[in-house]
Amino acid sequence: MIVISWVMLLLGSAFCLIGTLGLMRLPDFYSRVHAASIIDSMGTILVLLGLLVQTQDILVIAKLILILLFMMLTGPTAVHALAHTASLKEKDSEPDSASQLS
């Protein structure tokens, strides 16, 4: 069990690292958001699953599952809020630059 846990924790950390790398390598804001969503999905899921198999306490298990659930609801909301605001600002300041998006 401890081995499975460590494999998942390390894999999760690796995905977080890749996401961070993507955040720096990708060329523009809209692509960088994609890298952030790797950390959001695979990073958190694997780390939390890795912690989940380490415990037998039903309350701790319930809390970890709830954290996972809330992350899966708040993550997309934050991503959408960020990207949406950026696109609104861009359309506001220069009407021509909206075409640069595509």
**80 is a site residue for another protein (CB under 8 A):** yes
**44 is a site residue for another protein (CB under 8 A):** no
Long-range contacts of 19-22 (CB under 8 A, 24+ apart): 19/43
| The length of the chain, given as a count of residues | 102
The rounded distance, in Å, linking the Cα atoms of 78 and 56 is 32
Distance of CA 2 to the CA centre of its chain: 25
**87 is a site residue for another protein (CB under 8 A):** yes
**76 is a site residue for another protein (CB under 8 A):** yes
Residue numbers at the binding site for another protein (CB under 8 A) = 15, 18-19, 21-22, 25-28, 30-31, 33-35, 37-38, 40-42, 45, 59, 62-63, 66, 72-73, 75-77, 79-80, 83-84, 87, 101-102
